[in-house]
């Protein structure tokens, strides 16, 4: 038996940001807490939102102090601000961190305790109240955070998450216009992040025919558009395809689950504060270099997306070509495919491996078991940029 969960309502496509006024009327909002990345205010990206709030005569409490890869303390600081503000609605606009912080603050608003009390690995409290309604609006095409019930927080040496269906957005708005000013580096990292979501969902042991259909569609859109979106950001069609691909990938991976790539990316982000998209990108080829024998049939389908011919080739050969194509894709969009490029030393591999094996929630969805020895080997390959199976 399968099931599928998504936000109450999703608006997408150019101009969908205008639906915010309708949402304000539906919820009879008088005061909103608007959480945004600081750069979006500088670029004028949030100006259309502020105008809609003004037109609707809604009071706005604006906070733009979002930090990338936020710590639990940052989450607690914003939670306290929202509790003091007493808004009717929380709106998060920006990258994954902004949306994660918005959904966490909204959900914990009238629940007892702080962020650390609800962490997946160590928290001791359970949600009893849904909290405040929330609207999540991505400004990048990649994280899928607008349609998930998960918020990630950086710890001293890894990451953990707060996850509950109360964290789901009441409304998600995916307007590609907000991504038009996204720089190439952000477009590349977030785009590979979205592809990772789709591929991990597709090969997850929890995949269903519904999540598979979404994952295939998302990968097709992303592989076909990401290079153009990165290197010619003015191409609106590529931007629109990436925005929709990211949304669809988010719906797929939220329901089927991310796995080994995310599990091994979390310690990189936690220990070395490398952005999540880049952490995923640098691990993506090497994780699949190890796990592909456990998902050969699906890798053959992914080969079609990359335009790899099946003529005269075994399933294994096609899967290996997919792994190489993934590594090439990461490099083509300007993201490093080697851990050593991030200032990580070979001596750090053991610490990464020990932390990675603790991500049991994610590792449990991998089609091939990833134990400590396997994880150590994958990190070593990523450090040297070597694909051992090809």
- CATH code (residue 87): 3.40.50.1970
Of the residues 179, 214, 230, the one at which a domain ends: 179
Match 């988010």 to its residue by tokens: 250
Residues in contact with 67: Cβ distance below 8 Å, sequence separation at least 6, in sequence order: 74, 97
Instruction: Name residue 32's beta-bridge partners.
Output: 60, 89
Task: Check which CATH number belongs to the domain holding 372 and give it.
Answer: 1.20.1090.10
Of the residues 179, 205, 229, the one at which a domain ends: 179
Q: What is the pLDDT along the chain (390 residues), one digit of tens a residue?
A: 678 888 889 999 999 999 999 999 999 999 999 999 988 988 888 999 999 999 999 999 999 999 888 999 999 999 999 999 999 999 999 999 999 999 999 999 999 999 999 999 899 999 999 999 999 999 999 889 999 999 999 888 778 999 999 999 999 999 999 999 899 999 999 999 999 999 999 999 999 999 999 999 999 999 999 999 999 999 999 999 999 999 999 999 999 999 999 999 999 998 998 999 999 999 999 999 999 999 999 999 999 999 999 999 999 999 999 999 999 999 999 999 999 999 999 999 999 999 999 999 999 999 999 999 999 999 999 999 999 876
Compute CA 237 distance to the chain's CA centroid, rounded to the nearest angstrom. 22
The pairing of beta strand 171-174 with beta strand 134-138: parallel
Q: How many helices (H) and strands (E) does the chain have?
A: 15, 8
Structure tokens that stand for 2 in this block = 């399968």
Of the residues 152, 179, 206, the one at which a domain ends: 179
Please indicate, yes or no, if residue 389 is contained in any of the structural domains.
no
The SS3 of residue 364 is coil
Are 244 and 379 part of one and the same domain?
yes
* Alpha helix segments (H runs only) across 160-308: 184-203, 209-231, 236-256, 260-272, 276-291, 296-305
Give the residue numbers spanning the domain of 78: 9-179
pLDDT of residue 68: 87
CA nearest to 140, candidates 183, 170, 102: 183
Edge-to-edge order in the sheet of strand 89-94: 9-12, 171-174, 134-138, 89-94, 31-36, 59-63
Are 162 and 220 part of one and the same domain?
no
Are 292 and 312 part of one and the same domain?
yes
- The 3-state DSSP composition of the chain as helix, strand, coil percent (nearest 5) reads 55, 10, 30
The count of other CB atoms within 10 Å of the CB of residue 343 is: 9
Question: CB–CB of 211/221 below 8 Å?
Answer: no
Angle between helical axes of 236-256 and 184-203 (0-180°, round to 10): 40
Angle at CA of residue 184, ends 378 and 101, nearest 5°: 75
Please indicate, yes or no, if residue 3 is contained in any of the structural domains.
no
Please indicate, yes or no, if residue 59 is contained in any of the structural domains.
yes
Are 17 and 154 part of one and the same domain?
yes
Are 234 and 220 part of one and the same domain?
yes
Please indicate, yes or no, if residue 193 is contained in any of the structural domains.
yes
Q: 158-178, pLDDT tens digit by residue?
A: 789 999 999 999 999 999 999
The count of other CB atoms within 10 Å of the CB of residue 213 is: 13
Burial class (CB in 10 A: 0-12, 13-18, 19+), 43: middle
Are 206 and 295 part of one and the same domain?
yes
Are 88 and 197 part of one and the same domain?
no
Question: CB–CB of 146/91 below 8 Å?
Answer: no
The mean pLDDT value of the chain amounts to 95
Count of the separate structural domains present in the chain: 2
Q: 238-281, pLDDT tens digit by residue?
A: 999 999 999 999 999 999 999 999 999 999 998 998 999 999 99
Angle at CA of residue 46, ends 44 and 48, nearest 5°: 95
Are 164 and 198 part of one and the same domain?
no
Please indicate, yes or no, if residue 89 is contained in any of the structural domains.
yes
Q: What is this structure's pTM?
A: 0.93
Are 145 and 233 part of one and the same domain?
no
Please indicate, yes or no, if residue 2 is contained in any of the structural domains.
no
Instruction: Name residue 222's beta-bridge partners.
Output: none
Are 140 and 229 part of one and the same domain?
no
Inter-residue long-range contacts of 337-340, CB under 8 Å, 24+ positions, other chains counted: 337/281, 337/282, 337/285, 337/382, 337/385, 338/282, 338/382, 338/383, 338/384, 338/385, 339/268, 339/282, 339/379, 339/382, 339/383, 340/383, 340/384, 340/385
Please indicate, yes or no, if residue 273 is contained in any of the structural domains.
yes
Please indicate, yes or no, if residue 64 is contained in any of the structural domains.
yes
pLDDT of residue 390: 60
Are 241 and 165 part of one and the same domain?
no
Alpha-carbon distances, residue 19 vs 14, 196, 383 (angstroms): 11, 29, 46
Structure tokens that stand for 340 in this block = 């050593």
- What's the maximum distance between 2 C-alpha atoms anywhere in the chain? 66
Are 157 and 29 part of one and the same domain?
yes
């Amino acid at each position: 038996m399968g099931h599928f969960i998504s936000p109450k309502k999703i608006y997408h496509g150019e101009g969908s940001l205008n639906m915010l006024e309708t949402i304000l009327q539906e919820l009879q909002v008088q005061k909103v807490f608007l959480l945004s990345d600081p750069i979006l205010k500088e670029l004028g990206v949030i100006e259309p939102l502020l105008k809609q709030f003004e037109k609707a005569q809604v009071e706005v409490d604006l906070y733009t102090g979002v930090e990338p890869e936020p710590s639990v303390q940052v989450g607690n600081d914003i939670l306290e601000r929202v509790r003091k503000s007493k808004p009717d609605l929380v709106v998060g606009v920006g990258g994954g961190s902004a949306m994660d912080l918005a959904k966490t603050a909204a959900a914990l608003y009238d629940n007892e305790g702080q962020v650390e009390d609800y962490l997946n690995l160590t928290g001791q409290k359970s949600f009893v109240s849904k909290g405040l309604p929330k609207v999540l609006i991505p400004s990048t095409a990649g994280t899928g955070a607008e349609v998930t019930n998960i918020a990630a927080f950086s710890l001293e040496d890894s990451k953990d998450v707060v996850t509950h269906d109360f964290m789901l957005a009441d409304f998600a708005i995916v307007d590609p216009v907000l991504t038009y000013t996204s720089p190439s580096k952000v477009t590349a990292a977030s785009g590979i992040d979205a592809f990772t979501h789709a591929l991990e969902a597709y090969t997850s042991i929890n995949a269903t025919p519904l999540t598979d259909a979404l994952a295939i569609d998302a990968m097709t859109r992303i592989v076909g558009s990401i290079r153009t979106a990165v290197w010619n950001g003015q191409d609106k069609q590529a931007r629109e395809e990436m925005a929709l691909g990211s949304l669809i990938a988010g719906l797929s991976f939220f329901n089927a689950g991310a796995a080994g790539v995310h599990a091994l990316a979390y310690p990189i982000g936690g220990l070395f504060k490398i952005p999540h998209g880049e952490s995923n990108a640098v691990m993506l080829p090497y994780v699949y270099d190890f796990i592909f024998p456990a998902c050969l049939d699906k890798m053959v389908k992914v080969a079609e997306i990359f335009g790899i011919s099946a003529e005269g080739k075994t399933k294994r050969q096609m899967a290996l070509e997919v792994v190489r194509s993934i590594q090439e894709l990461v490099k083509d969009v300007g993201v490093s495919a080697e851990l050593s490029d991030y200032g990580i030393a070979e001596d750090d591999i053991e610490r990464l491996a020990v932390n990675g094996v603790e991500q049991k929630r994610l590792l449990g969805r991998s089609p091939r078991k990833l134990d400590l020895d396997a994880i150590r080997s994958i990190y070593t390959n990523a450090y040297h940029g070597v694909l051992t199976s090809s």
